[in-house]
Amino acid sequence: MSVAPRTRLTALIVACALFMQNLDSTVISTALPTMARAFGEEPTHMNVALTSYMLSLAVFIPCSGWLADRFGTRTIFRAAILVFTLGSMLCGAADSLPFLVISRVLQGFGGAMMVPVGRLVLLRTVPKSELVAAMAWLSTPALLGPVLGPPLGGFIVTYFSWRLIFYINIPFGLLGIVLVTLFVSDVRESTGAKFDWRGFAISGVALASMMFGLETIGRGVVPREMSLAFLAVGLVGGALYVLHTRLVPRPIIDLSLLRIPTFAVAVIAGTFFRVGIGAIPFLLPMMLQLTFGRSPAQSGMITFASSLGALFMKPAATAALRRLGFRDTLVWNAVLSSFLLALIAFFRPGWPIFLIYAVLISGGFFRSLQFTAYNALAYADVPRERMSAATGFYAAMQQISQTLGVSAAAASLTVTMMLAGHTEPMMSDFSIAFIVVSCVSICACPLAMRMPPAAATELSGHRGT
């Protein structure tokens, strides 16, 4: 199936912006000790630089759809890149932890606009017959960013300055603004709906509390009681928001979208799958360093292999979906991806390095295919006038599922260590944690099996019965 040059160019522009956002969410993790010394802070206090960014994403992602409808996709996408770049400049110039946190919140606001609005650019400009190929470009940054971030951050801090981690975004951001201005169409939907301020406040408190609680529980960053209190606030806020959606015609997060079967499968099954996959950047580098005796640089290069497979997936995604259809692809590919994830549990220092690379690269290939299928399926049956609401909802769930993945991995590791009486994580502890998250990942299969074989054939081109 041929893809128009304009479609390919638009997808590439959006993918580069999303890669910048995904990379930045993790690139500073290995730089935090160095930054702590520069600010005269305790290293344990620096985690707020990570959580402030993620909380900003969680709070502001839901309002992106309304802004795109009101001001146009190109205008908001370009503004998002500008705000993200400005936030990066301020982060690089920070001379204290409070200044850095405020700058990260601003950066997160720009990132929150880039993720769903970038996807909305494609949905409103790309024909449905080319959507799978376009979405394949968006799966790569989602996989590469979290895995490439830590080793890249460590390299920059070791050989240059931690400030370069943020300044490196400036030329890419400026280039992105120019490319969006020249090549991205400004499409908007006329809407008379007022902004749902009350829903924005309730969902913001609920999402931020839930994200903070999940991010900190079991990691020793704050007292466990505080993490549990934030989780409780998040759950109560979520319940209040559900009640709120019944009282307003256009809520900021439209839960009625889950009545669309294909969207519901992409959101719910995709969340289970991403929880398992989201644990890899947390568990794998730690296992390689603590039990394999690898250096941070060596573990970073091995971890990076788990995303190399994504680079080879794009040509295969369209062919796989055309041959198998969405249902069979999502079912059998989830089984295979979960098996390859579980296989990491059996890694041992004596394994040949080429075999480890083979497992990780294969896993990256099939995970990327799964993400591409979910990203396209989500919008297969969403009416055009609800596309902006769907992109905000879907992006918010992606962000939550990634945090759930890290939390599930950390919780599995902590519980296993406690039951085994280990004060430091052992090989067996990591093995059990990988088995647990792979079991979560495979829970996506029964949900996908409920779809009819002919679901979303307009996108896949599948003509089987």
Q: In the predicted model, what is the mean pLDDT of residues 85-114?
A: 89
- HEC per residue, the chain: CCCCHHHHHHHHHHHHHHHHHHHHHHHCHHHHHHHHHHHCCCHHHHHHHHHHHHHHHHHHHHHHHHHHHHHCHHHHHHHHHHHHHHHHHHHHHCCCHHHHHHHHHHHHHHHHHHHHHHHHHHHHHCCHHHHHHHHHHHHHHHHHHHHHHHHHHHHHHHHCCCCHHHHCHHHHHHHHHHHHHHHCCCCCCCCCCCCCHHHHHHHHHHHHHHHHHHHHCCCCCCCHHHHHHHHHHHHHHHHHHHHHHCCCCCCCCCHHHHHCHHHHHHHHHHHHHHHHHHCHHHHHHHHHHHCCCCCHHHHHHHHHHHHHHHHCCHHHHHHHHHHHHHHHHHHHHHHHHHHHHHHHHHCCCCCCHHHHHHHHHHHHHHHHHHHHHHHHHCCCCCCHHHHHHHHHHHHHHHHHHHHHHHHHHHHHHHHHHHHHCCCCCCHHHHHHHHHHHHHHHHCHHHHHHCCCCCCCHHHHCCCCC
Same fold, 1-184 and 256-465: yes
pLDDT higher than 70, residue 275? yes
Q: In the predicted model, what is the mean pLDDT of residues 283-295?
A: 81
**Distance of alpha carbon 338 from the chain centroid:** 18
Computed over every residue of the chain, the mean pLDDT equals: 81
The pLDDT assigned to 9 comes to 75
Q: What pLDDT digit, counting tens, does each position of 41-91 carry? A: 765 566 667 767 877 887 888 888 788 878 888 888 899 999 999 999 999
- The correct answer on CATH 1.20.1050.10 for the domain covering 256-465 is no
Who wins on pLDDT, 349 or 23?
349
The pLDDT assigned to 301 comes to 73
The pLDDT assigned to 344 comes to 93
The pLDDT assigned to 84 comes to 93
Candidates 3.10.129.10, 2.40.37.10, 1.20.1250.20, 3.30.530.20; correct CATH number of 1-184? 1.20.1250.20
Cα torsion 37, 38, 39, 41 to 10°: value is: 0
Who wins on pLDDT, 279 or 149?
279
Q: In the predicted model, what is the mean pLDDT of residues 86-104?
A: 90
Q: What pLDDT digit, counting tens, does each position of 214-258 carry? A: 767 655 566 778 888 988 999 999 899 999 988 888 888 888 899
Q: In the predicted model, what is the mean pLDDT of residues 291-314?
A: 73
Q: What pLDDT digit, counting tens, does each position of 417-459 carry? A: 888 888 788 898 889 999 999 999 999 999 888 888 777 777 7
Q: In the predicted model, what is the mean pLDDT of residues 25-35?
A: 70
Q: In the predicted model, what is the mean pLDDT of residues 109-133?
A: 77
Q: What pLDDT digit, counting tens, does each position of 358-416 carry? A: 999 898 888 888 888 888 888 888 887 788 788 888 888 887 787 778 778 877 887 88
The pLDDT assigned to 423 comes to 78
- The residues spanned by each domain of the chain are 1-184, 196-251, 256-465
Q: In the predicted model, what is the mean pLDDT of residues 350-359?
A: 91
Q: What percent of the chain has pLDDT over 70?
A: 84
pTM: 0.77
Who wins on pLDDT, 439 or 313?
439
Who wins on pLDDT, 79 or 13?
79
Q: In the predicted model, what is the mean pLDDT of residues 114-133?
A: 74
Q: What percent of the chain has pLDDT over 90?
A: 17
The pLDDT assigned to 147 comes to 61
Who wins on pLDDT, 418 or 5?
418
pLDDT higher than 80, residue 175? yes
Q: What pLDDT digit, counting tens, does each position of 327-343 carry? A: 888 999 999 999 999 99
The pLDDT assigned to 141 comes to 63
